[in-house]
Structure 1
């Protein structure tokens, strides 16, 4: 069973994703801010991360930056799931090492398909 870390400060979204991921036989773990996300990365070693950009403490870009600088998480697949739709945000996240970028509002089935593709291709 693959573990997916969902990082978002919006409770309804995290509940939805927890439900949808569990229904697909993933083990979802939730973090509600950037600090908690960094802690969950260390104690759960997820197979993939779904990461919001706008959060308290550390934003998603900072979490991604730290992940890519870490030997343990440099290759962990990351899907940015955010309402930030500016070209600078999208290109910036991809340049930092995000594997995919999905805009809110989103279709849960599309997110799950992208996640499955990333996990299939992961080392």
Structure 2
């Protein structure tokens, strides 16, 4: 019996965050509260990638082919996120990476600690 081939990755989107599982067993995950930047990049001619990053530059790469309405709806909860800008960037993605959203909150500075 021939079934569908196993996908090379799959994506879970929850209220807490987004997780991508790869066929080799590796996992990328990012909590929504940690997302500070969203980028769009073209992956050859086959797909568009949404790249979610945290303050340390770590993140989760989500192929557009693996997204659904839940993913897009959740992006809209990011402060001042412009879904139209994302759509335009994804539809016109060529070579390179486009930043479509950055957190309006600057990174929190470490508090000045005073020692006696």
Q: TM-score, normalised by structure 1?
A: 0.30
Bigger-Rg structure (1/2): 2
Structure with bigger helix share is 1
